[in-house]
Amino acid sequence: MRYLIYIFIVTLFSINTAFSYNLNVYSRNVKDDIGEVVINNNIIMRLYDTIDKQDPAIRAEKMVQRITQLIAIGLNPYNIKVKYTDGYYHGVIGNRKLFTVGRKEAAINQTTEDMLAIEWIEKLRAVLKNMPVSDVKISEDELQSSLANNVPETGYASSFEADSNDFLGVHPSLPVGTIVRVKNIHNSWSIVVKIIGNKVLPAGRVITVSQTAAKALGLAQTGLSKVLISTAVY
């Protein structure tokens, strides 16, 4: 068995309480032809099929990326639905695809593809049901605009006090409403924030984020850290 090939640690904090919520979301390659999506040691999906020229391990990695990014912007697991398109059953939130069920996976589980999609959704809901959900609403138009205007930047991030516990950011020039992925280069932790304002920042800084976001990035210990920011969050 190979060791973990892809790991995300998502930590959501509340400023007003002592509450914290930790998720270990990762993919692993069990064998050359089997990939798994695991959350807090719970196997959510076991993948056997190659779909769109992606083998099971790569599919698992992509699913982990999507799940983690949606967690960062306030994924509500009860909004995950089953949708049939392009000859496959998918788990989706709005127009965003979380996963695809392969025919081989359904056959091995001795069920149908639509029923396996429902089973995977129920497993996701069971693991994520107690996760705090952000009040920030991100529309499909905002996500598409962010993707179209992607310009990666590297520099330093700091934090500011906010009236909410949402993942928010202030940038010198990005339009308000832009969705930005912020990765702490020091520890590889990654979150998604919504730009709520513009201001000139000290030399070398590319973004300042709300305290909740800073803690999730691991900035709380240093107050300042080198980051990579990108609007290509998906």
In-domain check, residue 82:
yes
One domain for residues 119 and 40: yes
Residue 186's pLDDT is 80
One domain for residues 182 and 114: no
Quote the distance between the C-alpha of residue 84 and its chain's center.
23
Q: What's the pLDDT tens digit per position in 144-177?
A: 555 555 557 888 888 888 877 778 899 998 888 8
One domain for residues 205 and 123: no
One domain for residues 98 and 165: no
Report which of 117, 104, 100, 92 is spatially closest to residue 58, judged by C-alpha positions: 100
Q: List, for the chain, all residue ranges whose pLDDT scores fall below the cut of 70.
A: 1-24, 72-75, 130-151, 220-222, 232-234
Residue 66 neighbours by CB under 8 Å, 6+ apart? 96, 97, 98, 99, 234
One domain for residues 114 and 163: no
Q: 63 is in which domain, residue-wise? A: 4-128
Residue 5's pLDDT is 41
One domain for residues 118 and 170: no
How many domains does the chain contain in total?
2
d(CA 99, CA 90): 6
Residue 8's pLDDT is 41
d(CA 214, CA 230): 16
Domain boundary among 103, 128, 153: 128
Report which of 184, 190, 192, 194 is spatially closest to residue 162, judged by C-alpha positions: 194
One domain for residues 42 and 70: yes
One domain for residues 121 and 144: no
Question: Is the model's pTM score more than 0.75?
Answer: no
Report which of 80, 71, 41, 44 is spatially closest to residue 60, judged by C-alpha positions: 44
Q: Write phi, then psi, for 157 (nearest 5 degrees).
A: -120, 145
Say how many CA atoms lie within 13 Å of 196 toward its Cβ: 17
Kindly give the pairing relationship between strand 205-210 and strand 153-160: parallel
Domain boundary among 128, 149, 182: 128
Report which of 213, 145, 210 is spatially closest to residue 175, judged by C-alpha positions: 145
